[in-house]
Chains A and B, each alone.
Chain A
Amino acid sequence: MTEETVELKLPSRVESIAEAAEAATDAARRLGFAEDALFGVEMAVREAVTNAVLHGNRRDESKPVEVGLSGTQAQLVVTVRDRGAGFDPAGLADPTAEENILKSSGRGIFFMRTFMDEVAWERPPGGGTLVRMTKKK
């Protein structure tokens, strides 16, 4: 397949995390991404949707998590939008700093940045936070 566009509107619950990750890896597979890249896409989408469900929408099922997948032969772009109050990615602690290594949380965005080529946050009109992640072939 040469191009791929998928849009999902999911309820803010934990089950949505696996659903979004599966849709993203299926899309990446159809576009011909390598196995290692599929693992990275699954990991990054899981973490982004986890953040949207837990921290953005705070499990409020009346607030949707919108996932967009847009792929070409060269790259897959994944967007995840929540309806939360937003956050400052610059204010996040480094989970690999010595004082944070034994913390039980704080690695999600680190994994997103590790496994995707580009990760950027936007405040879209209408509210919430949108994270845009790009995986290149």
Chain B
Amino acid sequence: MAELNIRERQAGDVTILDLEGKITIGEGSVSLRSAIRRLIEEGKKKILLNLAGVGYVDSSGIGELVSSYTTIQREGGQLKLLKLTQKIKDLLTITKLLTVFDVYDDEAEALNSFK
């Protein structure tokens, strides 16, 4: 089984990526980077990352979330986070990134925020 499984859904003009597994150095980080690059190439620049199924993130994974965020911003798009586990929320808090990302617990609310 892959370290990180990514399932893509579309809700209007927002692309939701349901992530399941680990975002860690190597395969997990690379999979996320490739998925974000592909979406940008397809012109999909409103992206919601659903992290409900992500049990583990290391510093490389945090770095990948940051670079996904800054890449999308540079392209004039938006990247938001949905359903963080407590551990990931803690990591984003201690790295002071929780205030940088737009974070939601409810999918409908997250989708509305893109309008």
Contact surface of A with B, Cβ cutoff 8 Å: 14-15, 17-18, 39, 42-43, 46-47, 50, 54, 95-96, 101-105, 107-108, 110-111, 114
Contact surface of B with A, Cβ cutoff 8 Å: 24-26, 56, 58-60, 62-64, 66-67, 69-70, 87, 91, 94-97, 100
Query: B59 contacts which chain A residues (CB < 8 A)?
Result: 47, 50, 105, 107-108, 110-111
Chief secondary structure at chain B's binding surface: helix
The A-B contact count (CB < 8 A) is 53
Most A C-beta atoms less than 10 A away, residue of B59, B94, B97, B100: B59
The 8 closest A-B pairs by CB, nearest first: A107-B59, A104-B63, A104-B67, A14-B26, A108-B59, A96-B96, A46-B58, A105-B63
Query: B62 contacts which chain A residues (CB < 8 A)?
Result: 107
Chief secondary structure at chain A's binding surface: helix
Query: B95 contacts which chain A residues (CB < 8 A)?
Result: 95-96, 101, 107, 110
Chain A residue nearest to B63 (CB atoms) is: A104
